[in-house]
Structure 1
Amino acid sequence: MADDGPDRDVVMAASADLITERDFVLLLISLYRDYPALWKIKSKEYADKNKRLLALSSIVKALRVYKPTYTEDLLKKKINALRTNFNKERKKIEQAQRSGLSPEDVPKPSLYYYNEMLFLSDQMCISDTESSLNSEVKHFLFTIQRYILLI
């Protein structure tokens, strides 16, 4: 049996040097988009835990070519960070658009991967207006409840 030791390490190190962090993130997003079980809330696959786990392991396997020590935990954390940053940026841009700014004055996305993540836009559950409405309703119900207890 051939020795996989030093030669394999050199090949792995060389392949890791072939891709920049930026390209790695764009590749990760591309792979993530290819597995709707991980992000498409209304699909049947999204509700299937086994399909989600299989999708995660497939992505990790593809990414290990570039980062041999990449794990599912690292992937989950990276996806969460990318989604969080994308959502913050998206909300900032949408608020600027709603404020009545001219299209030239609306801020441009600062994230280099913003456009790559746009496939997630229709997956967001709660808009700002819904959350503020929910807050007002909760406050109203709390006030009524307090009033009834005083009677």
Structure 2
Amino acid sequence: MFTVTDYCAHAHESSHLKLYNSKEKHMEQHATRKASLEKLLQFVKTQVPEADIEFVDKKIGSLRSIYRKELNKVQASMKSGAAAKDVYVPSLWYYNRMRFLEDQIKARESLSTLPSTLPSTPAEASKAQPGPSILEEVEEPSWSQEDLSQDEALECGSQE
């Protein structure tokens, strides 16, 4: 059966590495990309005879996606301030073979609707944004005897 180790070893050829880089200029040329896929397909067919171009293309996308998820876990654990011994260790056994993808995978910048700095006092909040502040203390509602009596009446009525 087709193993990822064999595939990764074969995919490391310079002509195949370009298939993983979607920003590569050469990938804009459909004919060049197709030729590279055809060459890789010949290797894959030795292990998976029914494979086609779509199979190889999906395999490339799948490997990129899985690697990106593992890389994100590693980076997130490093950002969290974890000690060196607590940094996430990828469970993907072929992670190191796919490290050539690291420089091609860049996280998109996130957009935030929050201000870059949040106000620390109600006075700062009211200066920053007019209107009610999330930092202002809210009065708790006071229940009158009449309100409680109505609630008790409802409870009694629902039990009958």
User: In which range does the TM-score fall when normalised by the shorter chain?
Assistant: 0.5 to 0.7
What CA RMSD, in Å, does the superposition of the two structures yield over aligned residues?
Answer: 2.0
Query: Structure 1 length normalisation: TM-score?
Result: 0.65
Query: Structure 2 length normalisation: TM-score?
Result: 0.62
Look up the match of 1:72: 53
Look up the match of 1:136: 113
Q: Work out whether 1:32 is the aligned partner of 2:11.
A: yes
The one-letter code of the counterpart of 1:26 is T
Write the deviation string for residues 73-125 of structure 1: whole angstroms up to 9, x where unpaired: 11122222211111111101100011111111112110011111111111113
1:63 CA drift (Å): 1.6
**Residue of structure 1 aligned with 2:73, choices 67, 86, 92:** 92
1:136 CA drift (Å): 3.5
Calculate percent identity across the aligned residue pairs.
29
Which deviates further from its counterpart, 97-106 or 73-82? Answer: 73-82
Write the deviation string for residues 51-70 of structure 1: whole angstroms up to 9, x where unpaired: 11111110110121122111
Look up the match of 1:82: 63
Distance change in 2, residues 1:110/1:65 (3 Å): same
Structure 2: stretches of 5+ with no match in the other structure: 115-160
Distance change in 2, residues 1:43/1:79 (3 Å): closer
Runs of 4+ in 1 over 4 A off after TM superposition: none
1:43 CA drift (Å): 3.6
Distance change in 2, residues 1:135/1:46 (3 Å): farther
Q: Work out whether 1:108 is the aligned partner of 2:89.
A: yes
1:47 CA drift (Å): 2.0
- The structure having more radius of gyration, on CA atoms, is 2
Structure 1: stretches of 5+ with no match in the other structure: 1-19, 138-151
| SS state at 1:38 partner | helix
Query: By percentage of residues, which structure has more helix?
Result: 1
Distance change in 2, residues 1:104/1:117 (3 Å): same
